[in-house]
């Protein structure tokens, strides 16, 4: 499938920038007590690096991370790369995850995401997750299709005050109006 090259937005945060949570109540990156508390940092070119510390709150089988939460971690990491680098409000249309190794409680998943290409409103991103270090054993791979939406997606389907809630979380650091 043909895609256009990725154009990082001129106002996108530069390499080394630690990304703020995109919404304080987000299960992936916000302050939700049992949430994933994922932290992301911008890398070179169209890359973002994220870390997810797996705790007992995230178990599926005893001592192992729940697969659905691992997929959630990738949704967050991929979405953070798309949203922050392109400055285009987008939602996950499709998320594929390959689970290659079990992820134990106590480990930290190092997720490296790249925005691969754009085709109109469709934005493709992919990621790898490694255990306990950027060069650790490969545990997961994921590919996501994000679809750009107008900001009314969030007010119509989510909460009438969605934009205000998002803006408050962002402390005005980026304008979510396209």
Ligand X SMILES: CCCCC/C=C\C/C=C\C/C=C\C/C=C\CCCC(=O)SCCNC(=O)CCNC(=O)[C@H](O)C(C)(C)COP(=O)(O)OP(=O)(O)OC[C@H]1O[C@@H](n2cnc3c(N)ncnc32)[C@H](O)[C@@H]1OP(=O)(O)O
Which residues contact ligand X (rule: CB under 6 A)?
22, 28, 75-76, 79-80, 83-84, 89, 91-94, 120-122, 145, 147, 149, 166, 176
Shortest Cβ 85–ligand X spacing (Å): 9
Exposure string for 68-91, b = 16+ CB within 10 A, e = fewer: ebbbbbbbbbbbbbbbbbbbbbbe
Q: Which is nearer to ligand X, 65 or 78 (CB)?
A: 78
CA distances (Å), origin 86, targets 45, 53, 135, 139:
12, 26, 27, 27
CB of 122 to ligand X, least distance (A): 5
Residue 64 or 95 with smaller CB distance to ligand X: 95
- Specify the residue, 94 or 168, whose C-beta has the smaller distance to ligand X: 94
Kindly state the smallest distance separating residue 62's Cβ from ligand X, in Å.
Answer: 28
What is the token pair recorded at 13?
């945060």
- Nearest approach in angstroms of CB 71 to ligand X is 10
Q: Which residues contact 158 (CB under 8 A, 6 or more apart)?
A: none
Residues contacting residue 61 through CB under 8 Å, at least 6 positions apart = none
Closest to ligand X by CB, 106 vs 178, is 178
Tokens of 28: 């992936």
Between 108 and 148, name the residue whose CB sits nearer to ligand X.
Answer: 148
How many other C-beta atoms are found inside a 10 Å radius of the C-beta of residue 124? 20
**Minimum CB distance to ligand X, residue 97 (Å):** 13
């Amino acid at each position: 499938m043909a895609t256009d090259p990725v154009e990082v937005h001129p106002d996108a945060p530069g390499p080394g920038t630690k990304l703020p949570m995109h919404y304080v109540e987000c299960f992936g990156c916000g302050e939700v007590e049992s949430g994933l508390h994922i932290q992301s940092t911008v890398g070179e070119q169209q890359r973002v690096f994220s870390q997810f510390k797996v705790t007992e709150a995230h178990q599926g089988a005893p001592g192992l991370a729940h697969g659905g939460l691992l997929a959630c971690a990738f949704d967050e990491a991929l979405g953070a790369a798309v949203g922050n680098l392109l400055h285009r409000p987008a939602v996950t249309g499709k998320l594929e995850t390959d689970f290659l190794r079990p992820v134990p409680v106590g480990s930290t998943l190092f997720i490296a995401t790249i925005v691969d290409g754009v085709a109109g409103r469709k934005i493709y991103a992919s990621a790898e997750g490694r255990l306990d270090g950027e060069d650790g054993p490969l545990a997961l791979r994921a590919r996501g299709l994000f679809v750009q939406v107008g900001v009314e997606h969030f007010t119509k389907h989510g909460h009438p005050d969605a934009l205000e809630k998002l803006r408050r979380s962002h402390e005005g650091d980026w304008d979510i109006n396209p």
